[in-house]
Chain A
Amino acid sequence: MTAPTTERTELIHGLYTEGEPIVDTKAPAGPIEQRWSKRKFEAALVNPANRRKLSVIIVGTGLAGGAAAATLGEAGYHVKSFCYQDSPRRAHSIAAQGGINAAKNYKEDGDSVFRLFYDTVKGGDYRSRESNVYRLAEVSANIIDQCVAQGVPFAREYGGLLDNRSFGGVQVSRTFYARGQTGQQLLIGAYQALERQVAAGTVEMFARHEMLELVVVDGKARGIIARDLVTGEVETHLADAVVLASGGYGNVFYLSTNAMGSNVTATWRAHRKGAYFGNPCYTQIHPTCIPVSGEHQSKLTLMSESLRNDGRIWVPKKAEDCEKDPREIPEEDRDYYLERIYPSFGNLVPRDIASRQAKNVCDEGRGVGPKVGDFRRGVYLDFTDALKRMSAEAVAEKYGNLLDMYQRITGENPYEVPMRIYPAVHYTMGGLWVDYDLQSSIPGLFVAGEANFSDHGANRLGASALMQGLADGYFVLPNTIRDYLAKGPFEALEESHPSVVEAKAAVDARVAKFLSINGDRSVDSFHKELGNIMWEYCGMERSEEGLLKAIDLIRGLRDEFWRNVKVLGAADTLNQSLEKAGRVADFLELGELMCIDALHRRESCGGHFRAESQTEDGEALRHDDEYAYVAAWEWGGDSGAPVLHKEDLVYEFVEMKQRSYK
Chain B
Amino acid sequence: MNLTLKIWRQAGPRAQGEMVTYPVTDISEDMSFLEMLDVLNEQLNARGEEPIAFDSDCREGICGMCGLMISGQAHGPEVTTTCQLHMRSFKDGDEITVEPWRADAFPVIKDLVVDRSSFDRIIQAGGFISANTGSAPEAHSVPVPKPKADRSFMAAACIGCGACVAACPNASGMLFMGAKITHLGELPQGQPERDARVVSMVSTHDHEGFGGCTNVGACADACPKEIPLDVINQLNKDLRRALMHGE
Contacts and interface: CB of A to CB of B under 8 A. Distances in A.
A259 B146 contact: no
Interface in B116-168: 116-117, 119-120, 123-125, 127-140, 142-146, 149, 152-153, 156-157, 159-160
A146 B189 contact: no
Most-contacted residue by chain B among A161, A205, A257 (CB, 10 A)? A161
Contacts of B53: 574, 576
Contact of B127 (A161, A192, A259): A192
Nearest to A580: B51
B161 to A, nearest CB: 10
Contacts of A90: 57-58, 63-65
Contacts of B31: 294, 296
A92 B149 contact: no
Interface in A101-124: 104, 106
B51 A159 contact: no
A298 B11 CA distance: 25
A561 B79 CA distance: 40
Contacts of A179: 153
Given A106-B140, A297-B35, A411-B30, A568 B51 contact: yes
Contacts of A58: none
B103 to A, nearest CB: 15
A452 interface: no
A183 B152 CA distance: 16
A195 B133 contact: no
B56 A408 contact: no
B45 A522 contact: yes
B131 to A, nearest CB: 4
A635 B144 CA distance: 52
A230 interface: yes
A397 interface: no
A44 interface: no
Contacts of B94: none
Given A146-B136, A160-B149, A298-B35, A95 B60 contact: yes
A574 B128 contact: no
A87 B116 contact: yes
A162 B139 contact: yes
A293 B31 CA distance: 8
Nearest to A146: B136
Main secondary structure of the interface of B (DSSP, over half): loop
A207 interface: yes
Contacts of B59: 259-260, 298-299, 301
Contact of B88 (A144, A146, A196, A411): A411
Contacts of B153: 153, 155, 178-179, 185
Contacts of A86: 55, 65, 115-117
Given A94-B58, A160-B143, A574-B109, A145 B136 contact: yes
B33 to A, nearest CB: 11
A149 B129 contact: yes
Interface string B59-99: 11111110000000000001010001010100000000000
Most-contacted residue by chain B among A181, A199, A230 (CB, 10 A)? A199
B246 interface: no
A438 to B, nearest CB: 16
Nearest to A184: B62
B172 interface: no
B220 interface: no
B17 interface: no
B189 A151 contact: yes
A158 interface: yes
B110 interface: yes
A193 interface: yes
B202 interface: no
A148 B124 CA distance: 20
Contacts of A474: 133
A199 B63 contact: no
A70 B127 contact: no
B149 A156 contact: yes
B12 interface: yes
Interface in B3-56: 11-12, 28-32, 34-36, 38-39, 42, 45-46, 48-51, 53, 55-56
A157 B184 CA distance: 19
Contacts of A193: 128, 131, 133
Given A199-B125, A294-B31, A299-B60, A149 B131 contact: yes
B80 A145 contact: no
Interface string A135-165: 0000000101110111101111111111000
A178 B153 CA distance: 8
B174 interface: no
Contact of A573 (B58, B110, B129, B183): B110
B30 A156 contact: no
A306 interface: no
A258 B240 CA distance: 43
A439 to B, nearest CB: 20
B63 A95 contact: yes
B45 A568 contact: yes
B198 to A, nearest CB: 15
B187 interface: yes
A88 B65 CA distance: 11
A492 B45 CA distance: 45
A146 B133 contact: yes
A230 B45 contact: no
Contacts of A195: 120, 123-124, 127-128
A160 B146 contact: yes
A90 B160 CA distance: 9
B31 to A, nearest CB: 5
A96 B29 CA distance: 27
A7 to B, nearest CB: 43
A90 B58 CA distance: 8
Interface in A165-183: 178-179, 181, 183
Interface string A281-324: 00000000000011011110110000000000000000000000
A296 B71 CA distance: 23
A74 interface: yes
A37 B203 CA distance: 45
B228 interface: no
A150 B189 contact: yes
A154 B153 CA distance: 8
Nearest to B42: A522
Contact of A156 (B39, B88, B133, B144): B144
A464 interface: no
Contact of B146 (A74, A157, A205): A157
Given A185-B156, A188-B156, A199 B124 contact: yes
Given A95-B62, A184-B159, A524-B42, A150 B129 contact: yes
B113 interface: yes
A71 interface: yes
Contact of A410 (B30, B129, B137, B159): B30
Interface string A35-71: 0000000000000000000000000000000010011
B217 interface: no
Interface of A: 67, 70-71, 74, 85-92, 94-95, 104, 106, 142, 144-146, 148-151, 153-162, 178-179, 181, 183-185, 188, 191-193, 195-196, 198-199, 205, 207, 230, 257, 259-261, 293-294, 296-299, 301-302, 405, 408-411, 474-475, 478, 522, 524-525, 566, 568-569, 573-574, 576-577
11 contacts: A87-B119, A90-B64, A92-B57, A188-B156, A195-B120, A230-B109, A296-B36, A411-B29, A411-B30, A573-B12, A574-B110
Interface of B: 11-12, 28-32, 34-36, 38-39, 42, 45-46, 48-51, 53, 55-65, 78, 80, 84, 86, 88, 109-110, 113, 115-117, 119-120, 123-125, 127-140, 142-146, 149, 152-153, 156-157, 159-160, 183-184, 187, 189-190
Given A148-B142, A149-B189, 4 more contacts: A89-B160, A160-B146, A260-B57, A576-B51
Shortest beta-carbon contacts, A-B, top 5: A160-B143, A149-B136, A192-B128, A149-B131, A153-B153
